[in-house]
Amino acid sequence: MNQFYMVPENQFNQLLQMVTELYQNSGKSKAKPETELLTTQEAAKRLKVSSKTVLNYIELGKIKAINFNKGNGMRCRYKIAKEDLEAFIKSKRY
């Protein structure tokens, strides 16, 4: 049985933007769909650096990440695929 849900237009647009962003970034990441996603804080802990340093790495393109708040006027909220963080660590680019 199909179920329908009503959501406010702004929430629908945010969800649509997130799905679009994930689709557009799908070719940029080596992560599998079922991969574990890490916060910048979790990545910082694994790298033994600050969260700000992780954000700098993301902005410089050294770490691949998905911005879940892109286009909705909110501050960036990045998630990093565990595989991408491991690839970054192996590359020794920090």
Residue 8 CA to its chain's centroid (Å): 24
Q: Are 39 and 94 in contact (CB under 8 A)?
A: no
State residue 22's pLDDT score.
78
pLDDT in tens, 5-30: 787 888 877 887 888 777 777 666 55
The sheet that has 78-81: what strands, in order across it?
37-38, 78-81, 66-67
What domains are defined for the chain? 10-91 (1.10.1660)
AA identity, residue 21: E
State residue 7's pLDDT score.
77
